[in-house]
Amino acid sequence: MIKKRDIYQVEITATASSGDGICRIDNLAVFVEGACEGDILEIEITNVKSSYANAKILRIINPSIHRIKPPCAVYEKCGGCQLMHVDYKKQLELKKQFVADSLERIGHLDLSETEFFDTLGMETPERYRNKMVFPIGKKADGRLTGGFYAAKSHNIIALSDCLLGNKFASDCLAAVISYMKENRVSAYDETTHKGLVRRLFVRTGLYSREAMAVISINGKSLPNEKKLVDKLLNLDSGELNLSSIIININDSKNNLVLGAQNRTLFGKSYISDTLCGLEFEISPNSFYQVNPLQTEKLYNTAIDFAELSGSQTVLDLYCGIGTISLCAAKKSARVIGVEIVEQAIKNAKENAARNRIKNAEFYTGSAEDISQKLLNEGLAPDIIFIDPPRKGSDEVTLNAILNMAPEKIVYVSCNPATLARDLVHLTSNGYALKKVQPVDMFPNTVHVETITLLQKRNT
């Protein structure tokens, strides 16, 4: 029987959706952190459960052909990336596998009628993020620090430059910490709910080159706010233009990145960016995809799947600032977007006006409430796009969709597990799963975005 502290020599034969390598010992699946499929390793068992075990690497005896040296100095400690030790081609294969495993093993979905495409990857999978969120806190010795959370914990790993984001975001972090030191500003402590500065959030527009820095605080204001503004504006921002500095008031005990209220310290209350030829304004609290190059591929594919001809009515549930809705509007008769965050709907309406799009309407509210309301009003869209957050959609919304009986449903998902669950509901109620396209929005992490096309069956 396998037990804790046992040492084995193993070959890694598979990869879990967490990024851990998997080997089998006595028919038990053993998850090995940091392992790569094809590695021959010496491992030590760290934990044994009835159906699986965990282990750590003691020695790499023979590295996999897919193993590479991670370019980041804090990769092993930081919880941000899980696949940086795996070559990019293999990462893309793994992501397709993660989606297939979810659909087949969680959903038990029959994929025999489904076209299942290879993961759409990036040409240069580096510095792709347009948004960085850095928690700020205290080290054990009381000194201020900021960076990323370590894996499975809220210990902050300090960093000087995250390779997923732009260098300017990391420079802003250093400037905020230096301002805090000089002005004796405290960092927020999650356990005591005391202290002021919680996080720095930096968002940039890939094409507009505008940048926004949001300082989230457990209070209403900061001491010497002008000094903070000056420090940030004095940074060398390269080709970026820091056009918005915002204080976000977040005095709740929850762990949401931002509170609901903002106060503009400098410049505008939003930044703009261009996607698929349209211009968008983006407020701090509005969702905006983090990888703009891949987002264009994501939206173009979703819209291709919908086969819009210009005469259809389109419903876009969970529409954010209206990106999918407005990209679809050019090829539709009428588009209706639904989103729960009020600021995002305000952006969506401005974005329609800014791009002179007149056939788009937007409603604030939960997908659950508004989809039922629209159904009761007799709305019968030809196409429904649905792009929910990680927890997926819900039965009320899915039933409203089924009752509206669109010809096609294009489901965009950032979580294969909830996607599988929701697809079971839709495919058990008259829809066939025709296409599955994984898209790599988050290179070096285990996250994968998936676009699926469901077509109404002829009954």
Is-catalytic flag, 36?
no
**In whole angstroms, how close is the CB of 120 to ligand SAH at the nearest point?**
15
**In whole angstroms, how close is the CB of 285 to ligand SAH at the nearest point?**
9
**In whole angstroms, how close is the CB of 321 to ligand SAH at the nearest point?**
6
Judged on CB neighbours under 10 Å (0-12, 13-18, 19+), 358 is: exposed
Amino acid at 344: A
CB 151 within 8 A of CB 175: no
**In whole angstroms, how close is the CB of 286 to ligand SAH at the nearest point?**
7
**In whole angstroms, how close is the CB of 366 to ligand SAH at the nearest point?**
4
Secondary structure (3-state) at 278 = strand
Which chain residues interact with ligand SAH by CB under 6 A? 287-289, 318-320, 323-324, 338-341, 344, 366-368, 387-389
**In whole angstroms, how close is the CB of 126 to ligand SAH at the nearest point?**
22
CB 35 within 8 A of CB 12: yes
Distance of CA 447 to the CA centre of its chain: 8
CB 14 within 8 A of CB 25: no
> 119 or 295, CB closer to ligand SAH?
295
CB 183 within 8 A of CB 143: no
CB 65 within 8 A of CB 93: no
> 136 or 338, CB closer to ligand SAH?
338
> 172 or 374, CB closer to ligand SAH?
374
Give the CB-nearest residue to ligand SAH.
320
φ/ψ of 135, rounded to 5, equals -70, 145
Catalytic residue among 23, 36, 327, 414: 414
Judged on CB neighbours under 10 Å (0-12, 13-18, 19+), 181 is: exposed
Count of C-beta atoms within a 10 Å radius of residue 190:
13
**CA atoms within 13 Å, Cβ hemisphere of 344:** 22
> 223 or 389, CB closer to ligand SAH?
389
Count of C-beta atoms within a 10 Å radius of residue 37:
21
Write down the H helix ranges in 51-117: 88-101
> 55 or 338, CB closer to ligand SAH?
338
> 295 or 444, CB closer to ligand SAH?
295
Residue positions annotated with a catalytic role:
414
